[in-house]
Structure 1
Amino acid sequence: MSTLRRITPALILLILSPLIAEFLLGDFNIRQLGYLAIFIPLYGASALFIREITRRMKRGWPTMLLLALVYAFVAEGFVNQTLFNQNYAGQHLLAYGFIPFLGTSLNYTIYILSLHVIWSISTPIALAEGIAGSRSKEPWLRNWELVFVGVLSLLGLAGTTASTIERFHFVASIAQYISVSVAILILIFLAFKIFRASNDTETDIKNDEQLISKAPSIWIIFIVSFILTTAFQVWFHYAPGHKLNALLGVIVFLALDILALMLFINWSRRVDWKTQHIVAAATGAVATYGWFGLRRLLVSGHTALGVPTTTIDLVGQVMLLLAILGMSYLALRRLRN
């Protein structure tokens, strides 16, 4: 196998992760693609490193999701510090449900951590593994390549941290840093000690289950994923916009997360659960980001960071969504073949 063919899924993941995380959502427009030079180390290298470590240690999606949550805590607790900065980019992200004792908002914390787990890390990994076809569970990188990706990720995280502190002049307290560090250590322990190594097909938790029922069709998986992720995104803006009780906001966020986990854990134990189902779930999340990002550019007339929208941006946004959906279709075809 040629080197290019071997690393093609890894290269796709490097680019796909930042495209979904920042551009599909409408944080940046198509004319700002030059920012990929910053976002590939920050998002792509991190997603690829998480994926490679998980597959090298023969773990499955439970480990992958926990490591994605580790990344989320690093990104928002240490790097951007949005978990604690009440005036990050002038957005007042913590205003809804802010708890002075904790110095954060549980509403925003649940939202932004889920955002990274679902869209920044898990969705692009699922699509890249689907495109890899029969190599979806195999490591894609040599040892030195993995080290390079790990260093690239650290540089991206460190560089963004320095830039964020310089730009917003905010540094979290020692207690806040410690709380994030403890959460990260617990998650890493759970990722590698609770879920054991396995050569099974899809997930670690599948081993001890009696495989009887059939999994839903990929269309059902797609629709459920789309509905749940759309509800999650809509609720984040609806609840504070209508000044609903902040505790209710937290309860609904948790209910959506728990419902999604319960459904997909149950389905993943079914006899015919395959990588196609994971790709279908990821495609549902892509569709949610797609319509939400396009709506943002259309209705607000600018990106999330205030850059005015042009016709080129709208066309580019549609083309980006179609391109990523095309990757999903390609992944499903390769897996079916």
Structure 2
Amino acid sequence: MTASSPGPLRGVVAALFTSVGLSVLFAVSTVVFHDRITAFQVARGAGEEAEVSAFQVARGAGEEAEVSASIWIRAGLVVVPALLYLWMARRLRQGSRRAYLRVRVLAAVGAVAVGYLIASGQYPVWLRVVQAAQFAALLALLFLVTRPEVRALFPKRPRPPGGDRRAALVLVVLAPVVAEVTLGSTPVSRIWLLLLWLPIYGAGVLLIRELARRSGTGWAGILVLGLAYGIVEEGIALQALSSPTLYGAGDWAPRLLGLNSAYTEVMLPYHAVFSVAIPILLTELMFPASRSAPYLRRGGLIATAVTAVLGVGLLRLAVPPSEDPGYTIPAPVLIGCVLAVAALGLLALAVLPRRAPRPPSPGRAPGPWWLAAFGLVSVLGFLVLLYPFAGAGRSAFTHGDWTYLPMAAAALLAVVAALLIGRWSRTRDWNDRHSLALAAGALVAHTAFGAVTIPDTTLDLLGLIALGAAMVAGLVSLARTITRRKHMFGRGKNKNEAWTGVVAEKKRSSPDGQNMYHHVLVRTDDGQVKDVRVKGRLWRTLEVGDRLRKVAGETQPGKA
């Protein structure tokens, strides 16, 4: 839309300028006749008749000053919408839908505000005439701007990639619920602590997910960022990695380099998996259309980063002074934590995205039930080896340097599990059901372990059991939803999917002996392997390593 406005829009612009002119006239009148208006409002407050000479009613210099100031403020508030209208008139001529929506809102709010001023009788009759004309102009503007022919000039446009507020909100809430509530470390009797966790967990994990999707790093990068998150929360905010007294973590195992070794070994992977990776996975399974795209635009990303930093400060001010008074993290440990976070961030966001895509693994992935059992046994084994429970003072009921044995066994278990999961996830038949099954087994294990080791009261135990049951019901419901979806992307199918990825393999076949079908194996940025059927013309231009992008609403991917 150019500066020459279409016919239906000319009436809107004319009503805008009329409203602006009347607003300026009202503001100028309040300035020129300031003393008379002040006297009128003071007299009105005293219950006397309207038109009186200036300051006949003496109610005190303080009240007059207050009334006088309010008149100046209202005059200024009248001028501000007038200036906004001038700017929005220009944006309307350019076809801005945002400006159109703002004009509708301001016209409605302005009409209500001016109508209230007229009804309240706060100004003399002669000035209320100007207000009445302004009220009529705003009503005319509201009528004109809502006409069908005007609405047709500003149609709704498809939401661009990078904007899924529902998914972002779900992730913000899901992160502290998974990490704290379903483990039992935040019991139902103190559920209000979620307000403390939301800024650091919610904004922190959302920020990690946004950075990962924008950089193109996969699940390996997300897990590395999860380790960095664990250092920020446990090392910098809570100071628990180095404090010899907080949570009794200094007694779990011998301290190394000023750190609580066993506590560090259990908490950093815990945060990487349960605070970061699993909430992101569950959210993307609930909102598959935007799983490979950012949830936020630039402004939302900045606000999320600021909130996460404030969340770190809030946790630092709220917990250590009350739970661990007098302890301050030593400067060398703090510097080490900062450097470790920077190195992990560089690895996740700059190094891993540049790796060449790994080829698909041979064979088939285990079935979902086997993966659920694998996740359950792995998490239970890891926690049992490191976390003291049942009255034990050290990991796995050991003493002295013998504690290094369960620590080494837990590290070996984590490495083997990570290698196996990485291999299975690169097989050609890996899909959402496998990912959910693995996460479900891990979640059930960590809730069961929490129920055995953490609750101090019967109420908290019963609450955690109830939460665990609700969690299982939610996972079953999500599994049923995934089962109903079509996992394989074909031409004309799954139009609402959106993803980006790298071509790992090209293939073609003619199963019916007549038609040639062209397929590519794509490893998406979130770690999935998709068998994608494409048109022959696109297939012939592709090479292994090329990037493809599938936009929601389109039937075919294209080169990124």
What runs of 5+ residues in structure 2 fail to find an aligned partner?
1-157, 486-560
What runs of 5+ residues in structure 1 fail to find an aligned partner?
198-203, 303-307
Secondary structure of the corresponding residue to residue 92 of structure 1: helix
For the structure 1 residues 331 and 52, does the alpha-carbon distance in structure 2 shift closer, same or farther, using more than 3 Å as the test?
A: farther
How far apart in 2 are the matches of 1:144 and 1:275? 31
How far apart in 2 are the matches of 1:56 and 1:334? 28
How far apart in 2 are the matches of 1:7 and 1:309? 38
Tell me which residue corresponds to 1:92: 248
Tell me which residue corresponds to 2:190: 32
Q: Aligned runs of 1:257-272 on 2, under 5 Å? A: 257-272=414-429
Please report how far the alpha carbon of residue 175 of structure 1 lies from its aligned counterpart in structure 2 after TM superposition.
Answer: 0.9
Identity of aligned residues (%): 26
The structure richer in helix per residue is 1
For the structure 1 residues 296 and 288, does the alpha-carbon distance in structure 2 shift closer, same or farther, using more than 3 Å as the test?
A: same
Please report how far the alpha carbon of residue 333 of structure 1 lies from its aligned counterpart in structure 2 after TM superposition.
Answer: 3.3
Tell me which residue corresponds to 1:200: none
Secondary structure of the corresponding residue to residue 86 of structure 1: coil
Please report how far the alpha carbon of residue 2 of structure 1 lies from its aligned counterpart in structure 2 after TM superposition.
Answer: 8.2
Alignment equivalent of 2:458, drawn from 306, 309, 329: 309
- Normalised to the residue count of structure 1, the TM-score between the two structures is 0.86
Deviations 1:223-261 (A, max 9, x none): 101100011111122663522512212211211111111
Deviations 1:273-297 (A, max 9, x none): 2233222221112101221222235
The structure richer in strand per residue is 2
For the structure 1 residues 293 and 130, does the alpha-carbon distance in structure 2 shift closer, same or farther, using more than 3 Å as the test?
A: same
For the structure 1 residues 13 and 324, does the alpha-carbon distance in structure 2 shift closer, same or farther, using more than 3 Å as the test?
A: farther
Deviations 1:161-212 (A, max 9, x none): 1223422221111111122122212211211232126xxxxxx77x231443
Tell me which residue corresponds to 1:72: 230
State the 4+ residue runs in structure 1 displaced beyond 6 angstroms. none
Q: Is the 8 A contact 1:86 1:94 kept in 2?
A: yes
Larger deviation: 61-70 or 250-259?
A: 250-259
Secondary structure of the corresponding residue to residue 94 of structure 1: helix
Q: Which residue identity is paired with 1:284?
A: G
Tell me which of the two structures has the higher relative contact order, counting C-alpha pairs closer than 8 angstroms and 6 or more residues apart.
1
Q: Which residue identity is paired with 2:305?
A: G
How far apart in 1 are the matches of 2:318 and 2:464? 27
Tell me which residue corresponds to 2:405: 248
Please report how far the alpha carbon of residue 63 of structure 1 lies from its aligned counterpart in structure 2 after TM superposition.
Answer: 0.9
Tell me which residue corresponds to 1:305: none
RMSD of Structure 2 on Structure 1 (CA): 2.3
How far apart in 1 are the matches of 2:342 and 2:381? 31
Tell me which residue corresponds to 1:196: 353
Query: Would you say how many aligned residue pairs link Structure 1 and Structure 2?
Result: 316
How far apart in 1 are the matches of 2:297 and 2:360? 36
Tell me which residue corresponds to 1:332: 479
Tell me which residue corresponds to 2:368: 218
Tell me which residue corresponds to 2:381: 231
Larger Rg belongs to: 2
Tell me which residue corresponds to 2:359: 209
- Normalised to the residue count of structure 2, the TM-score between the two structures is 0.53
Q: Which residue identity is paired with 2:375?
A: S
How far apart in 2 are the matches of 1:331 and 1:227? 22
For the structure 1 residues 59 and 326, does the alpha-carbon distance in structure 2 shift closer, same or farther, using more than 3 Å as the test?
A: farther
Alignment equivalent of 2:297, drawn from 142, 149, 153: 142
